[in-house]
Chains A and B, each alone.
Chain A
Amino acid sequence: MRAQRVAAIVLRQFYLMRGSPARVVPLFAWVAIDMVLWGFITTYLNAVTASGFNFVPVLLGAVLLWDFFIRVMQGVTMAFFEDVWSRNFLNLFATPISIAEYLGGLVLSSIATSTLALAVMLALATAAFGLSFLVYGLLLIPFLLVLFLSGIALGIFSSAVVLRLGPAAEWFIWPIPAILSPFAAVFYPLSTLPRWMQYVGRLLPPSYVFEGMRAIIGGGTASGTGLAVGAGLAVLCILLACQFFAHIYWHAVRAGLIARYSAETLN
């Protein structure tokens, strides 16, 4: 793997973002709106329930972590879509870049953009609504790591779907996090779900993060085994997503779709 070629993808993304409000503002605008909305909802819930239960770390913390997962995923897909929108596949894949280098560039771009989003969310949630991440302790690090790996895996998988189905398939990609969220137990324990949904939820790495987060808030401890399973599943998802992307890419090379990507199919 050549670092220079990975850097080229990151640099391209940097050039595009620099001086482009249309690309920069969405990085933190939606997550900021989510923080404000859920911040007030949790404040209201704290006021009306009078149970002494603090909804802020449970609900606002969950929204923040889930938004981080989405930003990581979209960090990958947005960088990939730049090549779709500028019809750049022929130029790009005729260079010596390998699939691993290309995906590496997308992942690094995503790290930069999702870190920015995370910083904005943390600042808002802490300053405006008193959400303290100290409550999660050092486990915040594995929480973020599992969500980061899961977001990367979903981003690569989504990019492969668009590479296979064509530019219009972009609209399949945006709702994926919303479809996953009921299964990932973002706002409620997995046990709340019907059994078949629980089985699906256990296959999703983020569900282990949210279960762990609620356990800590409830005064208990997060399951180390659960987090290890979540991390293992996330790594497996990344490997499968990379394999899927490579499979789709080589299919496109055999079918001639890289050179005629905008046609979507050769029929």
Chain B
Amino acid sequence: MRTSKPLPDRAGAATTPVLAVTALRKEYGTLAAVDGISFQVGRNEIVGLLGPNGAGKTTTINMILGVLAPTAGTIHIEDIDLATQRSRALARTNFAAVYAPLPGNLTVYQNLRVFGLLYGVPRLAQRIEVVIEQFALQPFRNTKCGVLSSGEQTRVGLAKAMLNAPRLLLLDEPTASLDPAAARDVRARIRELAARDTGGALWTSHNMYEVEEVCDRVLFLSRGKILLEGDPKTLPAAHGRRTLEELFIAVAREPLTLTGG
């Protein structure tokens, strides 16, 4: 069963979704890593993309980032077709992932400056100072990223992800190496971003507490298909589970028993 929630349509915000994915499919030989999924991320919305390892979450994110070509389907970022207007579409996105640290041989400031130019950030010097302060990176400003702890590197990655104030923010396990206090700050920061601007975020995490706290809506992915969709606070009860974590485990172990709802 798939429950749906209308996209938030706050006053003053554009009505087009930030991200519209339609019939997206990625095949590797005979294996469908992502099997015809469709979903949207609305304005001011944080959508959680959940699923067990190998479910197709990172494959989906890589396709939205334009570094992996879909076998079929379309991706529109603010109505811009990623396949035909790649640069325009990607200028509106940014991402942070635990498996994509910034070059360790550049300092925090140097990385932010290079990526700021790549994303065409206006008033870059000023913007760099803002994100450095937001992610408490002042002590590491001139430190090479390679010598930072994994948590500090994650914060640098998040600062880079926020640099161009992206309309679509893609976060692949962004708090995986953060301590609980830093993780809470990051969650607050992302929520602020989603509430303040007209952007949206797609968030993957294995921390169900975090997902419940942050996400307006979740998509459960299993074997490349979206199995469930809905409000993380009400979805477990709708499927006879007490918590989101129990629901996650059920999806991971017995996806077929849940498809009927």
Contacts and interface: CB of A to CB of B under 8 A. Distances in A.
Interface of A: 2, 4-5, 7-8, 11-12, 15-16, 82, 86, 88-98, 250, 253-254, 256, 258-259, 266
A95 B120 CA distance: 10
Contacts of A92: 118
Contacts of A259: 58, 62, 67-68
A176 to B, nearest CB: 26
Summarize B's interface: helix, strand, loop or mixed.
mixed
Give the top 3 A-B pairs by smallest Cβ distance, nearest first.
Answer: A8-B117, A86-B103, A96-B87
Contacts of A95: 90, 115, 118-119
A95 B91 CA distance: 7
A12 B90 contact: no
Contacts of A97: 87, 118
A258 B87 CA distance: 17
Given A15-B106, A93-B66, A98-B87, A256 B113 contact: no
* Of listed A2, A11, A94, A259, residue having the most chain B CB within 10 A: A94
Nearest to B70: A254
B118 A16 contact: no
Given A90-B100, A92-B118, A256 B90 contact: no
A16 B105 contact: yes
Given A8-B114, A11-B117, A15-B114, A256 B103 contact: no
Given A12-B103, A12-B106, A250-B69, 7 more contacts: A8-B118, A12-B110, A82-B103, A94-B67, A94-B95, A96-B87, A96-B119
Contacts of B102: 88, 91
Contact of B110 (A15, A89, A253): A15
Interface of B: 26, 28, 58-59, 62, 65-69, 86-88, 90-91, 93, 95, 97, 99-100, 102-107, 110, 113-115, 117-120, 160
A15 B142 CA distance: 12
A5 B91 CA distance: 11
B90 A94 contact: yes
27 contacts: A4-B117, A7-B117, A8-B114, A8-B118, A11-B117, A12-B106, A16-B106, A82-B105, A86-B103, A86-B104, A86-B105, A91-B100, A91-B102, A94-B95, A95-B119, A96-B86, A96-B88, A96-B91, A97-B87, A253-B66, A253-B68, A256-B26, A256-B59, A256-B62, A258-B67, A259-B58, A259-B68
* Of listed B68, B100, B107, residue having the most chain A CB within 10 A: B68
Contacts of A253: 66-69
A2 B91 CA distance: 12
Contacts of B107: 15
Contacts of A86: 103-105
A250 B66 CA distance: 11
A16 B58 CA distance: 30
B103 A88 contact: yes
Contacts of B115: 8, 91, 95
